[in-house]
Copies of this chain bind each other. A is one copy, B any other.
């Protein structure tokens, strides 16, 4: 009880205050259970106060913002975790920290962006030119096995 500083709302200043799980949930717009879940999966970290309650560094909000944004576009948690792992725990990341993380992600993000753009433009393109040769375009995707056959897959290929 003497450790007032560990109680989430006990310091009026707000600048050096830690956050309780409920505060993190409210501010970041996710459920308390999701905060627990992310912590369990190692995406975020907390310390415990004298009464065993979680106390988060403010920077956790930033991490959660990254998590949410990445998830919106389909990046799996494991990958997000990997990227976030290059940031320091429980303190504000430095420029170098962000740089490391950025590097970890850039390739993947670019790949995702390119795939989406290809998907969008192929839809447009095949309509625009009227050839309907989607096959041709999809095949630029390495993961796509369609090309190897080459038999009758394309319909009106020019």
Contact = CB atoms under 8 A, between A and B. Distances in A.
Interface of A: 14-15, 17, 26-29, 58-59, 61-62, 65-66, 68-70, 72-75, 92-93, 95, 98-99, 101-102, 105-106, 109-110, 112-113, 115-120, 123-124, 126-127, 130, 132, 134-135, 138, 141, 143-146, 149, 151-153, 155
Contacts of A17: 152
The residue among A74, A93, A99, A105 with the most chain B CB atoms within 10 A of its own CB is A74
A113 B116 contact: yes
Q: In the assembly, how many copies of this chain are there?
A: 2
Contact of A143 (B72, B102, B130, B134): B72
DSSP majority for the A interface? helix
